[in-house]
Structure formats: structure tokens, C-alpha cells
Chain A
Amino acid sequence: MKIGVFVCHCGSNIEATVDTAAVAAAAREFPGVVFATDTMYTCSEPGQDEIVDAIKEHNLGGVVVASCTPRMHEQTFRRTVERAGLNKYLFEMANIREHVSWIGKDREANTNKSVDLVRMATEKLLRNRALHPKKFTINKRVLIIGGGVAGIQAALDCADGGLEVVMVEKTSTIGGKMAKLDKTFPTVDCSSCILGPRMVDVAQHPNITLYAYSEIEEIKGYVGNFEIKVKKKATYVDWKNCTGCGICMEKCPSKKATDTFNEEIGKTTAINIPFPQAIPKKAKIDPAFCTMLKKGKCGICAKVCPSGCIDYEMKDEFITEKVGAIVTATGFDLFDWTVYGEYGGGRYPDVITSLQYERMLSASGPTGGHIKRPSDGKEPKNVVFIQCVGSRDKSVGRPYCTGFCCMYTAKQAILTKDHLPQSQSYVFYMDIRATGKLYDEFTRRAMEEYDTNYIRGRVSMIYPKGDKLLVRGADTLMGTQVEVDADLVVLAVGAESSAGASELAEKLRISYDSYGFYMEGHPKLKPVETNTAGVYLAGACQGPKDIPSSVGQGSAAAAKVLGLFSKDQLESDPQVSIVDIKRCIGCGKCIQTCPFGAIKEIDFRGMVKADVIETICQGCGICTSTCPQGAVQLQHATDNQILSEVNALCQF
């Protein structure tokens, strides 16, 4: 094979600490290399044309580009060599930027290392073969996990685009965090007025199947052909017949059930519908509080239900759904703020979270939209807001900025004045981060029009004083101590990844960061893709996001799914395992270890042999390292190819 080597300067990114001309000169001495040069920007149009011209001029059979990581430009250059008529697998990359020039300044050592990496790539390339993808048909249905605003947007966009959509929501209603909000910034739009109709659209859309109060149990398969096992949790109410009339809720004698929708501001009944606009508007029983389920006595809801849909014997149900793509929109949860002892650690009833305050402001909330102190039900006069609780705080392991707390705190300060004109709001803040359209104007309105007292500094202690709370903090602009007699304290608690995010990521086989937020394919260029083909991200599961960004990502994910499904067939990755039937002894170890069931047993002239189903094989190569005979070889990462790389590094 005649090989051409192109060593990229990447402007000064590589050239500054690697002598690229020397690397190219060294490469000319390697076996098979007939052409080597260094270029300014290999990925640019003239750079790519240079590769195409060299392939034609020197009749090259393979190309090595030494530049950035293959995660960045492998696809780019594979297309380039394809344009020149080469098979795209007759191409290798040496990563001399992320793995060399950017991690050290020693030019001699870097140049030396780059030469080694290029030698490794050429040795592997000498053993590369042309590979050809197979085509396979796809199932044009999409699964949306999570029914918050991002998931709703993705579901409606996909459904309007003609796709069949399956939506799985963990709780008994869709709507997510946005459904809990009273108003939204910076327009002070009514949250349920803008979200409610979208929720109804989901329920009524002929293309959408909604599984509420359900979870993902298992995910099998691959892009185009996933098989999903959905667990429909027992609701003890037959949802086919439940009309959502609410009589059961009125009559239920067990009135101390945890009210998660209202953020535990009040209590609810054991059988409940979370809120009046719930979708689906169906009742479910909380088994932890139902006397019938706990003690076998009561049964009042069954007696009063006009449609007879109470079923105390109901069990979890499992349903299998087949889809071709998955959008994950699992959102976020709130940081557990009780680790802050200085804010009372949960001991003071009048220190509440911003989401609890939001429920209090909502006309459909437990207080009917009246601001009342949880301790005595009185209207507060002085309300103190504390920002960055579980955000930008290394000491509690949350160094990141949640990004939307500054804005909702300004909104809540404005709403407080609207609800209680005699009240005075104080906001303790670190910095005001109001970077969106009309955002800064909005925080200014809170300060100037609504007379909110913004104090730049942290709160050091909250302690009770009579029936009030004394909030002591610093005003770093004035350089003084501040004390406020507060009636109510609202903590702007930061966002963290939703409970169970990592378990779901493991089922989806996608990566997550150390905080449990899902990793996008590329921080700049692939914001809604993951590294697993066919799995997309929308909303705050990827990182804290406000409503407009979540909706934007929901639409973006839907566009990606619609794009994927615009073809009837997909090309499979030909980097799959192949069995050498002469060497296979039919031991079946590869069949046992394959995580995808991609290897089956076949009969070959009366002998047992293994055979790889190419469209199912995902190319991990576990079979290759399991096979005692070396009979199964993963194409593009065969034993010979890897060992040639080892030798290229060690023997020179």
C-alpha cells in the first residue's frame, strides 16, 4: 500500500510545540510511505484538496492525517478520501493536538511523540482493509422519556412531523417542573396558561401514546431498532374508565399523604389527582398512605367511584414498545438544601424553597394563591430571598451555576409586591446573572419599580427571634453587616441531575458527568446528540436550563429524529466482528459474552460454528478478546492491527 501522510499545523495549535516538518520528514522513512507533507489547516478546503490531489498524483492507497482527535475530524477526512475514490476505512488519524501539543510545551519530546503516533497510524493502516456498510430497515417510531416542557416539545414536533411517538413519564401527570410554576420570567406570563394547552395537545394527538406513572425498565437494541420494556406502575385505579371526577379525593379519609406536586407545602389524600389540569387527569392511590392497601379496611373510594374503577389488587404491568430513536428529557431535581446548617437545615418552617414559594403563589396551589407563613398562616411583611443555595458552592460539591435562579428570584420578588403591596423584599445575591433577551431589564424592574432591596453578600446565619427569623449577612458593597427581621425566607435552591439519572444513562448506554448530567456528543457542535447513535437529549437532563432553552433543545432533538427517519434504511457501521470459519471450533464462548446477542450458532457441514449478525453487532470486540482461537476478529481493530501498533511503539 502506498501511504500519504499529512501533518497539520492547526495554525499554531500544533506547530507551536511540535516540529511538524520534522514529523513529516521522519514519516517519509516509514514502510509504505511515499508522500509526506505538513500543511497549515488540513481540514480546510485547500487542505482537503491537497489530500485529494496527492491521492491522485501519487496513486495513494491509504492516508494518514496527524492533527486533532478523531472525534473531531475523522468523519471529515473519511469523506475526503472517499471523494478521491478510496474506501473511507483506508484512512487513519494520529492525534497530535489533544494528546500531544496541548498537554506539554517540550518541543523535542512532543515532536518525538508525534513521530511515534504517526508511525503507529501507518503501521495500522498497512493492515487496514476496505470495509463496506450494510443497509438495514428502521422502525420510524420515537420514544420520549420525560413529560416536562422539553419532552412535550419534542413529542409534539415529532408527532406533527408524522412520526408515532411513545412518551413515558415517571409521575402520574406530564408537565414537569414548569407545571408547578405560577408565572414565568421575563414576561410574567401565566405558566399553566402557556403549558396547559400543550399538555392537552399531547393527550389528544393521534400520533402520541402516553404512559404516565411509568418507568423505563430495560432498553435493548440499537439505532433504528430499539426494544423498550416499560413498567406501568400500579395505580390501583383503572385508567380506562376513570373520568377524573375527583369524588374519591373528596371522600378519602386518609388526608396525610405526601403531596410531591405541591412540594410538600400541604398534604394530600391517599387517592389523588396531582392538580386540576393534570394530563392524564386520572386518580392514583399512594399505597404508603392508603388504609385499604395497608390494613385491608376502608374501601371508601371503591364505594363512591361512579365508574367502579378502583382495583386494590392491581399489579405493575410491563409493556414492550419498539422504536427507532430515543429522546431523553428527564429534567432536573432540586439540590437538598438541608445540608446548610446556617439556614436552619430544615428546622425552621418559615424557611422554604423557591419551588415551594411558587406553589404558594399559584392560584391552584395549596394556599389558593395566598402567601402565608407555613408556621402560623399569617401574611409575611418582610420576605428575604437568598440566592445560590447549592449553586456556585464548592463546599457542597456544586461549583456550577444553575443559571436561572437570579431570574426567578427577581420574578418572585415582583410577584410578592403584587400579592402583598405592603411587603418588603430583600435579595441576598453574589452576582446577578441575567444574560437572556429582556432578562437584565427584568431584574432592573424588580429593583427600581418594585423596590426590592438587593444586597450583595452572603447570609451567614438565620436564627429565630420571637415569631420572626433574624437573617444576618454581609453587604459587601457597603462593607457592613446587615440584619433583617424576616417573616419568611425563600431559598433559591439550585438544580441537580434528576434522581435516577445515572441508572437511566446506564440503560441507555450514554455518558454522564460527575454531577449526573448527560454528556452531549460535542459541547459546541452536537448539543442534542449523544455518543450513542439514535439517542438524543432535550432539556435540563444535559445541564440546568431555563424554559426557552429547554423548548429549543426539545425542538432540536425532534429535528434530529426527523432527519434520522428521513431515510428508510440506515447504513450499519462495518466495523463489526467476522468469524473465520476455518479457525472457529464452535466453543460458543463468543455467543455467551456478546452483550447484544449478535452472534448465533450455525451448522456448517455438520459442525457447530459461530456467525455474527452484522447489523446487530455494535463493534465492541469483546468476542475477539474472548475467542481462544483468534477466529473472531473485529474489523478495523483486529489483533494484528493492535499488535502492529504496539510494535510500532515499542520496537523503535
Chain B
Amino acid sequence: MPVLEGKELRIVGFLCNWCSYGGADTAGVGRFNQPTDLRIIKVPCSGRIDPLFVVKALMNGADGVLVSGCHPRDCHYAEGNFYARRRLEIMHKFLPILGYEPGRFEYTWVSASEGQRWQQVVTSFTEQIHKLGPAPKIVGPEASDTLSLMQAAL
């Protein structure tokens, strides 16, 4: 569905199955109200997230990308979130090179018991994206060529 004009922006979330997805469920069960912009993609572990997923989401039209995993040392797979942290930290520096504000991307840790914390994370990240407004989009007659060029370069 197209974004609700003037009301929502497009935010993609990558959440690990064991902690953050469960945290988002806990928030739901606890009826912790949240903004509706975010759509969640479940991945087994934050270590599964290729930084290029973030870039590709933004290139394809997302206005913000949020990643959330287990707290450091509490990863279901022992060390996946450490890999995630190393890989994702770079994105804050890499995104401006592509023309995106670094604030369009955040990564954080939310455990399965932290429903209230998940509500805060979603609310503040959505506010942050709304302050930045819509992300620059690749448009015009050559948009698809540009996109495929960028895809190839990545």
C-alpha cells in the first residue's frame, strides 16, 4: 500500500527472532500504543543482517531503517549481535556517502521482556524520521537505470 500521505512515512525494521521480535510481541500483548509507520521483517539473528539490506531498503524507497537484536552477551546464538554491531556501526558513516542522513538508520537492543522499551524505541525512531521527512528518492525517467547501476556497484 502507498504510504498514507501526510500521516506516515515508510520505516522498515529488521528484528531478530529471539529477543526483539519477542519484545515487539510483548509490547503488543501489553497494548503499548505505537506509531503505525514501522513494518517488521523477522530475521533469525541480528547477525543475519547484511548491511546491504539497509542500503537496499533506503534505495528502494524506505525513509528509515531500524535494526534491533538481543542485548550484547545475551544473543541466542552466542555472538551474532557482536557481528551485527561491527557491521552496522559502519552504516552511520557510509549512508551520507550515498546521500542519506545518518539519522535514517539506527540499531539497538531490545530483549523479549522489554515491551515498554520497544514502545519507546519505535516512538522515538519514528519521531526522528518524521523530523527528517521523506528520504531522497531516485526518480525521473532514468530511475530504473540508476537503481540497477547502484545495485551493481554494491
Q: Which residues of chain A have a CB within 8 Å of any CB of chain B? A: 26, 69-71, 95, 97-100, 102-106, 108-110, 112-113, 115-117, 119-120, 502, 505-506, 509, 511-514, 519, 531-532, 575, 593, 595-596, 618-622, 624-626, 634, 637, 639, 642-643, 645-647, 649-652
Q: Report Cα–Cα, A596/B49, bound state, in Å.
A: 18
CB-based nearest A residue for B58? A650
Shortest 10 CB-CB distances between A and B: which pairs? A98-B28, A621-B48, A620-B77, A650-B60, A109-B36, A513-B113, A622-B47, A650-B61, A620-B45, A102-B28
Q: A621-B48, A639-B50, A646-B60 are in contact. Are A595 and B1 (CB under 8 A)?
A: no
B80 to chain A: which residues have CB within 8 Å? 595, 620, 622
- In the complex, the answer to whether B40 meets A99 with C-beta atoms within 8 Å is yes
B7 sits at the interface (CB 8 A)? yes
Q: Report Cα–Cα, A95/B111, bound state, in Å.
A: 18
- In the complex, the answer to whether A531 meets B76 with C-beta atoms within 8 Å is yes
B93 sits at the interface (CB 8 A)? no
Q: Which residues of chain B have a CB within 8 Å of any CB of chain A? A: 1-2, 4, 7-8, 10, 12, 18-19, 21-22, 24-25, 27-29, 31-36, 39-45, 47-50, 53, 56-57, 60-62, 70, 73-80, 83, 87, 111-114, 119
Q: Report Cα–Cα, A61/B14, bound state, in Å.
A: 27
Q: A103-B27, A108-B4, A514-B114 are in contact. Are A595 and B43 (CB under 8 A)?
A: no
Q: Report Cα–Cα, A100/B112, bound state, in Å.
A: 17
- In the complex, the answer to whether A625 meets B27 with C-beta atoms within 8 Å is no
CB-based nearest B residue for A514? B113
- In the complex, the answer to whether B41 meets A120 with C-beta atoms within 8 Å is yes
Cross-chain pairs A/B with CB under 8 angstroms, 22 sampled: A69-B25, A70-B42, A98-B25, A99-B40, A100-B36, A103-B34, A104-B34, A109-B36, A511-B18, A511-B74, A511-B111, A595-B78, A595-B80, A618-B77, A620-B44, A625-B47, A625-B83, A634-B44, A646-B41, A646-B53, A649-B57, A650-B61
A652 to chain B: which residues have CB within 8 Å? 1-2
- In the complex, the answer to whether B33 meets A506 with C-beta atoms within 8 Å is no
- In the complex, the answer to whether B18 meets A98 with C-beta atoms within 8 Å is no
Q: A99-B40, A531-B18, A621-B47 are in contact. Are A646 and B7 (CB under 8 A)?
A: no
- In the complex, the answer to whether B57 meets A650 with C-beta atoms within 8 Å is yes
Sample of 5 further A-B pairs with CB below 8 A, known A113-B1, A513-B111, A649-B62: A103-B119, A119-B1, A120-B39, A620-B76, A637-B43
B79 to chain A: which residues have CB within 8 Å? 595, 622
Expressed in whole angstroms, the minimum distance between the Cβ of B127 and any Cβ of chain A is 15
A625 to chain B: which residues have CB within 8 Å? 47-50, 83, 87
Q: A26-B1, A506-B74, A620-B47 are in contact. Are A646 and B36 (CB under 8 A)?
A: no
Q: Report Cα–Cα, A596/B76, bound state, in Å.
A: 12
- In the complex, the answer to whether B36 meets A642 with C-beta atoms within 8 Å is no
Expressed in whole angstroms, the minimum distance between the Cβ of B91 and any Cβ of chain A is 13
Q: A624-B48, A650-B61 are in contact. Are A97 and B112 (CB under 8 A)?
A: no
Q: A511-B113, A595-B78 are in contact. Are A622 and B18 (CB under 8 A)?
A: no
- In the complex, the answer to whether B50 meets A103 with C-beta atoms within 8 Å is no
A634 to chain B: which residues have CB within 8 Å? 44, 48
- In the complex, the answer to whether A102 meets B4 with C-beta atoms within 8 Å is no
Q: Report Cα–Cα, A513/B116, bound state, in Å.
A: 13
B49 to chain A: which residues have CB within 8 Å? 625
A519 to chain B: which residues have CB within 8 Å? 112-113
CB-based nearest B residue for A119? B1
- In the complex, the answer to whether B2 meets A106 with C-beta atoms within 8 Å is no
Q: Report Cα–Cα, A502/B111, bound state, in Å.
A: 13
Q: Interface on chain B toward A: helix, strand, loop, or mixed SS?
A: loop
Q: Report Cα–Cα, A408/B77, bound state, in Å.
A: 41
B44 to chain A: which residues have CB within 8 Å? 575, 619-621, 634, 637
- In the complex, the answer to whether B12 meets A649 with C-beta atoms within 8 Å is yes
Q: Report Cα–Cα, A109/B8, bound state, in Å.
A: 8
Q: Report Cα–Cα, A609/B53, bound state, in Å.
A: 26
- In the complex, the answer to whether B78 meets A651 with C-beta atoms within 8 Å is no
Expressed in whole angstroms, the minimum distance between the Cβ of B125 and any Cβ of chain A is 14
- In the complex, the answer to whether A642 meets B77 with C-beta atoms within 8 Å is no
Q: Report Cα–Cα, A642/B49, bound state, in Å.
A: 9
Expressed in whole angstroms, the minimum distance between the Cβ of B136 and any Cβ of chain A is 14
- In the complex, the answer to whether A97 meets B28 with C-beta atoms within 8 Å is yes
- From A95, A110, A506, give the contact of B40 (CB < 8 A): A95
B119 to chain A: which residues have CB within 8 Å? 103
Q: Report Cα–Cα, A637/B79, bound state, in Å.
A: 19
B8 to chain A: which residues have CB within 8 Å? 109, 112
B24 to chain A: which residues have CB within 8 Å? 98-99
Q: A109-B7, A646-B41 are in contact. Are A620 and B1 (CB under 8 A)?
A: no
Expressed in whole angstroms, the minimum distance between the Cβ of B76 and any Cβ of chain A is 5
B113 to chain A: which residues have CB within 8 Å? 511-514, 519
Q: Report Cα–Cα, A545/B75, bound state, in Å.
A: 27
A115 to chain B: which residues have CB within 8 Å? 1
Expressed in whole angstroms, the minimum distance between the Cβ of A109 and any Cβ of chain B is 4
B1 to chain A: which residues have CB within 8 Å? 26, 112-113, 115-116, 119, 652
Q: Report Cα–Cα, A178/B56, bound state, in Å.
A: 57
B34 to chain A: which residues have CB within 8 Å? 103-104
- In the complex, the answer to whether B56 meets A643 with C-beta atoms within 8 Å is yes
- In the complex, the answer to whether A511 meets B19 with C-beta atoms within 8 Å is yes
- In the complex, the answer to whether B12 meets A621 with C-beta atoms within 8 Å is no
Q: A642-B41, A652-B1 are in contact. Are A532 and B76 (CB under 8 A)?
A: yes
Q: Report Cα–Cα, A367/B42, bound state, in Å.
A: 59
Q: Report Cα–Cα, A110/B25, bound state, in Å.
A: 16
In this complex, the member of A103, A514, A575, A593 whose beta carbon has the largest number of chain B beta carbons within 10 angstroms is A103
- In the complex, the answer to whether A109 meets B12 with C-beta atoms within 8 Å is no
A502 to chain B: which residues have CB within 8 Å? 74
CB-based nearest B residue for A618? B77
Q: Report Cα–Cα, A509/B62, bound state, in Å.
A: 33
A645 to chain B: which residues have CB within 8 Å? 41
Q: Report Cα–Cα, A94/B39, bound state, in Å.
A: 11
CB-based nearest B residue for A510? B76
Q: Report Cα–Cα, A355/B145, bound state, in Å.
A: 74
Q: Report Cα–Cα, A593/B78, bound state, in Å.
A: 11
In this complex, the member of A119, A514, A593, A650 whose beta carbon has the largest number of chain B beta carbons within 10 angstroms is A650
Expressed in whole angstroms, the minimum distance between the Cβ of A328 and any Cβ of chain B is 15
A98 to chain B: which residues have CB within 8 Å? 24-25, 27-29
Q: A109-B36, A649-B10 are in contact. Are A103 and B31 (CB under 8 A)?
A: yes
Expressed in whole angstroms, the minimum distance between the Cβ of A392 and any Cβ of chain B is 19
CB-based nearest A residue for B12? A649
Expressed in whole angstroms, the minimum distance between the Cβ of B7 and any Cβ of chain A is 7
B42 to chain A: which residues have CB within 8 Å? 70
- In the complex, the answer to whether A637 meets B48 with C-beta atoms within 8 Å is yes
Q: Report Cα–Cα, A645/B57, bound state, in Å.
A: 10
